[in-house]
Each structure stands twice: as C-alpha cells, then as structure tokens.
Structure 1
Amino acid sequence: MRDANIYNFRRALPRMSWDPRNLYNLWRRSLGPLVREAQWKDTSLTVFQQRWISKRLVRAYHGDYINEKIFKRWYLPATLPDVRPREGRSNSQNSVMLLGKWAKKDAVVDAVSKKQEEEDGKGLAPVGSLMFSEIERRIDVVIFRACMAHSVYEARRMVVHGQVLLNGKKHTNANTRMAPGDMVTVDPSAIRFLQESAAPKTVSELNDESSAESEEEGSPRPSVSAAVRKASDLTPFHPPPYSAPFMFVPAYIEVSFATCSAIYLRHPTARPGYSEIPTPYHADGEVVRLAWEWYSRVRPRIRSKRQMARMPENRR
C-alpha cells in the first residue's frame, strides 16, 4: 500500500473516511490547535509555501490515492464555469419591479429589491472548489458520498472486487467518472453499515417461523401484513454513532438504502455563498483559493491519441 498510515496524528490530514481517527484529525484541523497552521494573516512563509501547504491539505482529502500527475492531466478542469452573478438586474427582475410599481404592489417590489441586495452582498460564487468536481464524479467517491462505505478506500475495494453494479451491469473500474442519470448498486453483504447478522428471509419463511412459535405458545397465527412489515426491517441501516452529527448525502445524489443503490443526478455546482463540493475547508476560504492558485499555473498540454487512449473512463 502506497500510504498505509493515512490517519497519522502528526500530519493530521483529513481524508474521505468515517474512521474515528480521521474524525479526530478533522476536528484538529477545523476547530482544534492545528487551525492556525492554515491561517497566514501574520506569517513569514512565502506565497509559494502557502500555496504548496494549501495544495497538500486539499489533495489529502480530495483524491489522495490519485497520482498527482494523473490528477493534473485528467481530473483538473482546464477552465472553471462562469457562475458569477450578472451585473445589474435581469430582465425578469426589472419587469417584475415595473409591474409591481404600476400595480402599486410595494410589497412585491420590496421583496425583489431585498433579494437582489442579498445576492449582491454574497459576492462571487466559490468557483475554486469546483476544481474537484471531476473527483466527485468518480464511482468510488459517489459510493462513499452515498454513505454505503466507511471510507473511499473501502468503496474502491468494493468496485475492484466486483461488488458494484453500474446501470445493472457488473463494473470493476474504480476510475470511471459517472454521467448524470447513472445508477450504482452495491452488494448488501459488502456494506458494513447494514446489520450483518440478519440474514435475508422470505415472507413464507417468516410465516413458517411465526406459525411454529404460535403453535408452541398456543397463540393465534399473526397476519401476513405483520410478516411483511417484519421482512422490510431485515437489513436496517446502522451508521457509527460518532458519525451522526457529520454524515450527509450531497444534493446531486439520490440514495435508496432499501435497494442499496444511488443515482448520480447531475454534476455539482456552486452559487454565491454556497458550493456543493463537500470539503472540510471553507469553500471560498484561503486554503481553497491558494490551492487553486497553485493549480491555475498548470495548463493541460495537447494530448496525443496515445495519451487519450489511457484516459480514465469518462461517461460525460
């Protein structure tokens, strides 16, 4: 293994994992004593050193198992989408305000003006965090984001070992980038969040067991509806208790824990004051900004047909 001690307390680099040691490192970087290491208001470090430290922090969480050369060549977007708010009010907003003034509906005009002021106050969207949008499309990251694996490393092993279906077909390439509408299904026996001791049973087997118990106790046989309700609770979802305050599912993934499947709805986006890229750092903070400045100097070269043949599968 390239990096066996990924939860090292001395480095304290947060990873995509629900391991207690990783959550402790996450606390140290977010609220603990290591917060000031990523604050450069009064520092003697050069700009180059600040950018390198920021790149090291964000890459430890976003795809640390991906080689840096491969990341810059295939996973780093050449350009970022322009998600900045347009200058001035849009035509629809102007029309609403004009109609409101003509109809003497001051409440409508005030509401539109207040919304526009709030959007202007939020400023630009945190586009720097979108440099990891290609990482979020990976099938192993989607499985982890869907809370079906304890870590992205475990999700990667699930894919490699053939325990994952992509659109109903067995898929073993963990480097695949999913397209909107793709569905990934995980074998329930491979999900540690599910109760392993409860073996799946049919409704008829439950009826046989309940009838045997009723004959022994002399009680009447339970109804089929009760057996169906019992059958629907055979594989409950049991996340670790220490992950309850932090566990979430991003808005661009639709998860069905009953069928152990997830649908990748769309690509993550950003808007003023909000980014859909899950990250332990502020989406528009100094760490992400300096990391983007580090990578903004890297421009993808013209790729030959030989290099394009080695590109990780991208389903668009």
Structure 2
Amino acid sequence: MRDVNVFCFKRALPRMSWSPRNLFNLYQRCIGPGRADTRFTESSQTLFQQRWISKRLLRAYHGDYINEHIFKRWYLPATIPDVRPKRNFKQEDEAIGLARWARKDKPADAAAKERGREAEEKTLAPVGSLMFTELERRIDVVIFRACLATSVYEARRLVIHGDVLLNGKKHQNANTRLAPGDMVSVDPKAIRFLQPRSEKTAKRHEDAEEASEEDAAAASETTSSASNELEASVTETDKGAKPWKKLKKDQGLTPFNLPDYASPWIFIPAYIEPSFATCSAIYLRHPTARPGYSEIPTPYDADGEVVRLSWEWYTRVRPRIRSKSQKAREPENRK
C-alpha cells in the first residue's frame, strides 16, 4: 500500500480501490455528511479555497500516486475538447424569421423556445471530466477498470513485477499510456480473487453458509401449509444435496472469490472490452462524453462544481513550456 493512512475517515477521500474503508469514504462524499463540503454555492470560502478543495478531491481519486508536477506537465490536456454536435443555427434562424415575416408569431415563439431549451439541455456534454482522459489511458488504470485488480495500487504492482503482457510481450512500465487496439493480459496466478481462499476465510464463509441454512430452516417452519406440501414432495436426497459442494469438486471451473464489498466497483467502462476467460482486456478507444453522460468514471458529478472549479485551478497553474530535457522524461505514449 502506498500510504497506510490513505483511507483516513477524517479526510474521506475516495480512491481507486475495492477496500471497504474506501467504500465508506465514497458514501460520505456522495450521500453522507461529507457531501456538504462540496456545495460551494452556500459556502463562505474564497474562490481560491473552493478551487483548491475541488482539486484535492479529484486528484485523490484520479492518479493520487502521480506527482502533482508530473500530472500538470504530462497528463493534463491543454484544452478540454468540445464534443457538442454542430447544428445549423443559421438555417433555424432563417426559418424562425420567415415565420415571423408571415405573421406566425406563435409557431415562431414555440420554435425559438424549443431551440433555446435544446441548446441548454441536449447540446451540452459534461466535458469537464475529460481532463482525466490521459490518466484513463495508463496501463495500470485500464487493468483496474477492467476489474482484473482490486485497486489501482495493486494493478501498478502487477505491472512492475512482470505479471502483465502488453500485446503479448512482457511489459513493466506502469506509466505507459495505451493506444486504441492495445491488449493487456494479466497472469491468472497473480490475480488475488482467482486464488483459493485461505483456511480462515473458507471457514468463515462456511459458517456464514451454515447460519444462513439454519435461518432458512427456521423460516420454512413458519410458512403456509401450501409451501409445506411443496417441500414434502421433494425427496430426502434432493434436500441433502448441496450444489455448491458439487461445483467445488469440478476441477474444470476457475475459482472466483471476490472480496467483501466488491459489488459497487464491478462495472466496465464503454472504452474497454475485457475477457475474463483469458484475463485480458482491449483498450478500444479514448474515452469521450455525450450530452448527459461521461464515460470517465468519477465519484463526483461529471459536469458539477467540483470538476469545474478543479479545471479552473489547473488553467491558472498549468506549466506552459516543455524543454527538450523535460520531454526526454515524458511517460511512454503509444499514440
């Protein structure tokens, strides 16, 4: 672990991890009391303080293990791309003007109102989160997004220790930014939740299964007469059968033992195509955004105050000049 206090409850900074402590911090920032710290419309803080807090929250989740100076120089885009669809406003203005010239004021007013509503709601995309596009291209982040590692720190460790293949070749540079079409493969023996559980963990799960069986038996005693008749029709051999016990004997199945509290993190972005049968993933394309939707996962609103204020912070402090010596230290970028 990079920092023993990385999941501090007092700071409550969400990270790229499946840890239950991190899940609690995510709850605090998204639903719990920590959400009030990001409501700057009712805050008495200065604009500088609001921007710094927003930057701190976003950087804690997006690339917190990357030095701030390196992030500003090599991972921050010069401008946020405009992904709004191009519309022929001139033609619409001519149609509205023609309707007014024909003294059709009501249809013209309705068309103008509809155009204004679409311009505000439909043509605006949450492009603020696209400032982290270069971070999402990193090989360790792609491994974490593909659910092949329980945290981005573990994904980085897998790359550095030589357990990852890039396009079929061993790759140990965790700073590499992938290009569309690159395939990343992880050694199944290095993935934790594909390994057999320890004796303590297996015993704990067996005790939980037995407790659940006892609860189910107690609940079945209080069911209606109809359910009792249905249970009586089942043979004794069927009652004693435990299908999960039979599955464990099948050597052809791969054990899949997810850690606790992993379900909130099980999602795959649209720009990654994973294959869990081969423990690999293909980086299809760079992430983008469309009206009402951003492909970059983030615990905050993709076009909210936190993202906007963070971008305003970086537009003021981002370095502008890159010398030859600095370019020589640029992370590998596979165009």
The reply to whether TM is greater than 0.5 is: yes
- Aligned counterparts, 1:192-211, within 5 A: 192-196=192-196
Report the secondary structure of 1:193's partner residue.
Answer: helix
Distance 2:282 2:255 in 1: 20
SS in 1 for 2:192: coil
Counterpart secondary structure, 1:242: coil
1:278 is displaced (CA, Å) by 0.5
| Distance in 2 between residues matched to 1:158 and 1:76, nearest whole Å | 25
**Equivalent residue for 1:177?**
177
1:217 aligned partner: none
Match of residue 292, structure 1, among 290, 300, 311: 311
Q: What fraction of aligned residue pairs are identical, expressed as a percent?
A: 72
Unaligned runs of 5+ in 1: 92-113, 199-229
Given residue 133 of structure 2, which amino acid in structure 1 is its aligned partner? Answer: S
Distance 1:90 1:159 in 2: 53
Q: Select the residue among 243, 266, 274 that pairs with 2:262.
A: 243
Residue by residue over 1:18-56, the C-alpha shift from the partner in whole angstroms, topping out at 9 and shown as x without a partner, is: 000000100010001111011112211001100000000
Determine if contact 2:124/2:291 at 8 Å carries over to the other structure. Answer: yes
Secondary structure at 1:301 match in 2: coil
What is the correspondence of 1:104-119 to structure 2 with a 5 Å cutoff? none
Q: Which amino acid aligns with 1:307?
A: Q
Trace 1:203-242 onto structure 2 (pairs within 5 A): 230=250, 232-233=252-253, 235-242=254-261
- Tell me the secondary structure at the aligned position of residue 148 of structure 1: coil
Q: Aligned partners of 2:323, 2:41: CA distance in 1, in Å?
A: 44
Q: Tell me, yes or no, if structure 1 residue 142 matches structure 2 residue 142.
A: yes
The residue matched to 1:7 in structure 2 has which SS? Answer: coil
Aligned position for 1:84: 84
Amino acid at match of 2:56: R
User: Structure 2 matches for 1:30-179, cutoff 5 A?
Assistant: 30-88=30-88, 121-179=121-179
State the alpha-carbon separation in 1 of the partners of residues 40 and 320 from structure 2. 33
Does the 8 Å contact 1:133/1:277 carry over to 2?
yes
Cα distance in 1 between the residues matched to 2:117 and 2:252: 50
- Normalised to the residue count of structure 2, the TM-score between the two structures is 0.73
Aligned equivalent of 1:105: none
Deviation of residue 90 (structure 1)? 11
Decide whether the 8 Å contact of 2:7 with 2:22 is kept in 1.
Answer: yes
RMSD: 2.6
Ranges of 4+ aligned residues in structure 1 off by more than 4 Å: 116-120
Deviation per CA, 1:84-140, whole angstroms, max 9, x where unpaired?
23234799xxxxxxxxxxxxxxxxxxxxxx9x9767623411111000000000000
Cα gap change, 1:52 to 1:183, in 2 (>3 Å): same
Q: Tell me, in whole angstroms, the C-alpha distance in 2 between the residues paired with 1:288 and 1:178.
A: 24
CA distance in 2, matches of 1:242, 1:299: 38
In structure 2, how many angstroms separate the alpha carbons of the residues matched to 1:90 and 1:277? 33
Q: Contact 1:137–1:177 at 8 Å: present in 2 too?
A: yes
Q: Secondary structure at the match of 1:41?
A: helix
Distance 1:147 1:279 in 2: 16
Aligned residue-pair number: 264
Measure the CA separation in 1 of the matches of 2:257 and 2:123: 40
Shift of 1:308: 1.0
Following the alignment from structure 1 to structure 2, what is the Cα–Cα distance between the partners of residues 81 and 41?
26
CA–CA distance in structure 2, aligned partners of residues 153 and 41 of structure 1 = 35
TM-score, structure 1 normalization: 0.78
Residues 16 and 152, structure 2, Cα contact 8 Å, conserved in 1: yes
Conserved in 1, the CA contact under 8 Å of 2:197 and 2:257? no
Alignment correspondent of 2:16: 16
2:25 and 2:124 mapped to 1: Cα distance? 30
Residue 303 (1) aligns with residue 322 (2): yes
Q: Secondary structure at the match of 1:263?
A: strand
Does structure 2 retain, via aligned residues, the 8 Å contact 1:129–1:288?
A: yes
2:301 aligns with 282
Greater fraction of residues in helix: 2
* Partner Cα separation in structure 2 for residue 69 and residue 4 of structure 1: 23
Larger of the two Rg values belongs to structure? 2
Q: Quick one: higher RCO (CA 8 Å, sep 6+), 1 or 2?
A: 2
